[in-house]
Amino acid sequence: MKHADYAWAALVAGIVTYEAACPPGQLLSEAVDRYRVRHPFLTNATIAYIALHLLRQWPRRFDPLTQLAVKLNK
């Protein structure tokens, strides 16, 4: 496995562990519901950006996460 594979495994394990052990009403999806009530545009834009980033739909030069990684790995 590569480093990114370990990172994904850790993220999935952390999310599953949290969801299984969280207090009632504190699921991550329930938190997003609350965020969307208070900040609908920002929440939806953030979700859309992350989804498009993971789907590699942003041109590399316009993707802030990709540009950050490029700058930090120099």
Q: Is residue 46 part of a domain?
A: yes
Q: Is residue 47 part of a domain?
A: yes
pLDDT at 43 over 90: yes
The pLDDT assigned to 32 comes to 98
- As a whole-number percent, the residues of the chain with pLDDT over 70 amount to 100
Average pLDDT over residues 2-12: 97
Q: Is residue 53 part of a domain?
A: yes
Q: Is residue 70 part of a domain?
A: yes
Q: Is residue 29 part of a domain?
A: yes
CA angle 23, 13, 31 (to 5 degrees): 40
Neighbours of 49 (CB within 10 A): 15
Residues 14-40 pLDDT 10s: 999 999 999 999 999 999 999 999 999
Q: Is residue 3 part of a domain?
A: no
On whether the pTM is more than 0.85, the answer is no
User: Residue 61's domain spans which residues?
Assistant: 25-74
Number of domains in the chain: 1
Q: Is residue 39 part of a domain?
A: yes
